[in-house]
Amino acid sequence: MIIGAPKEIAPGEARVALTPASATQLQKLGYECIVQSGAGEAARFSDADYEAAGVKVVKTAATLWKTADIVVKVRGPEAKEVKSIREGQTVISMFWPAQNGDMLKELADKGANVIAMDMVPRISRAQKMDALSSMANIAGYRAVIEAGNNFGRFFTGQITAAGKVPPAKVLVVGAGVAGLAAIGTATSLGAITYAFDVRPEVAEQIESMGAEFVFLDFDEEQTDGAETGGYAAPSSPEFREKQLEKFRELAPEIDIVITTALIPGRDAPKLWLEDMVAAMKPGSVVVDLAAEKGGNCDLTVEGEIVESANGVKVIGYTDFPSRMATQSSTLYATNIRHMMDDLTPEKDGQININMEDDVIRGATAAHAGAVTFPPPPPKTK
């Protein structure tokens, strides 16, 4: 069978789902690989690089969609791509099936298979295919780099002949994959880092990354963000009040805030409010990694940097992984390659969507003419 990667058509998307290195591995599984000319350019993979790895370069998206049995993408298909999808074809991409039900139904009706990389169950066995984690890791790292780029001081403290420089103080709100990556990056640059999460079980991880866990003085302890499969649930009004009170206390001394707080299926909770921004020192920076889901900060504008009246920059970019397109394409293409490994048990270049396999079942949103989302919970860990 033929696996193909078209050029991403979403504005500003620089990633690509197939790299020369992943194509080499896919060929070992028995597949032929094709790529649309220029698909890897923004991630610095040239047509010549692909050709050197045995990948056929085709001129147009139309030819690619017509030729490939399996199309791999970063973003879910757009309407004009959906038109090209045919019966029996498999599309592997981020898909967000809960938000794209109509498109999913249309593809299922056509008899196409949809494998949603964002639906890979977060169980140990599937970590190598966990594109959400690999992209969140990059976003957390890049958030600190963007903060540094907009911050007028060092992260690390220094004693120099020209004077003593205090270390920057960084607060990370939400210690999931992106938050932990941000903590690791900020501490490795020498900042004093604090982190908060509603899930108390992350305290140990926060501390092992070199940050201080912000505890709340709350009767029921920091267990109020009850977990659902490792994810946070909305907090009670009392807990939220305590949390905001703590943030108000911290705001005047924090130089950089990185917010990553998300609750699956909901708008991002508002946690860094206008008065907290107003209490920060001029030159401070807020990076809101939840901007795409409405933002954790009151002042966030999706996709932009805004400056508050008191000179605090609030960064609402939503394309952090794409800003490191070579790295993110490499990791994403590897996630897909691992998915293909499991989808090709005989290594014979034939895809086998085994709905008895927990991981494949979890990620498969349309199969053999039917919508297969939502999946049952995985049986294994």
Binding-site ranges for ligand NAD (CB under 6 A): 122-124, 127, 130, 132-133, 136, 173-179, 196-199, 225, 230-232, 235, 260-264, 269, 271
The answer to whether 130 is a known catalytic residue is yes
Residue among 20 and 179 whose Cβ is closer to ligand NAD: 179
DSSP one-letter string for 53-101: TTPEEES-HHHHHHH-SEEE-SSPPPHHHHTT--TT-EEEE---TTT-H
Core vs surface per residue 336-365: b (16+ CB within 10 A) or e: bbbbbbbbbeeeebebebeeebbbbbbbbb
- What is the spatial distance between Cα 381 and Cα 378, in angstroms, rounded to a whole number? 7
Residue among 236 and 354 whose Cβ is closer to ligand NAD: 236
Which one is catalytic: 27, 46, 122, 341?
122
Cis geometry, peptide bond prior to residue 77 (ω within 30 degrees of 0): no
The answer to whether 231 is a known catalytic residue is yes
Which one is catalytic: 127, 158, 266, 267?
127
Which one is catalytic: 25, 50, 130, 288?
130
Residue among 15 and 199 whose Cβ is closer to ligand NAD: 199
- Dihedral sign (CA 113, 345, 30, 43): positive
97, 104 in Cβ contact below 8 A? Answer: yes
Residue among 17 and 271 whose Cβ is closer to ligand NAD: 271
299, 280 in Cβ contact below 8 A? Answer: no
Residue 133 Cβ, how far from ligand NAD at the closest point, in Å? Answer: 4
Residue 132 Cβ, how far from ligand NAD at the closest point, in Å? Answer: 6
Residue 227 Cβ, how far from ligand NAD at the closest point, in Å? Answer: 8
Tell me how crowded residue 304 is: count the other CB atoms within 10 A of its CB: 12
Beta-carbon contacts of 167 under 8 Å, excluding residues fewer than 6 positions away, are 154, 155, 156, 157, 190, 191, 192
Residue among 201 and 307 whose Cβ is closer to ligand NAD: 201
Which one is catalytic: 133, 222, 235, 284?
133
The answer to whether 122 is a known catalytic residue is yes
**Parallel, antiparallel, or unpaired for β 192-196 and 212-213?**
parallel
What does the block give as tokens for 210? Answer: 């070199």
Residue 102 Cβ, how far from ligand NAD at the closest point, in Å? Answer: 25
Residue 381 Cβ, how far from ligand NAD at the closest point, in Å? Answer: 8
Residue 257 Cβ, how far from ligand NAD at the closest point, in Å? Answer: 12
Beta-carbon contacts of 139 under 8 Å, excluding residues fewer than 6 positions away, are 178, 181, 289, 320, 321
The answer to whether 93 is a known catalytic residue is no
- Find the residue with minimal CB distance to ligand NAD: 176
What does the block give as tokens for 258? Answer: 């990185």
Which one is catalytic: 49, 231, 240, 323?
231
Residue among 2 and 98 whose Cβ is closer to ligand NAD: 98
| Enzyme catalytic residues | 122, 127, 130, 133, 231
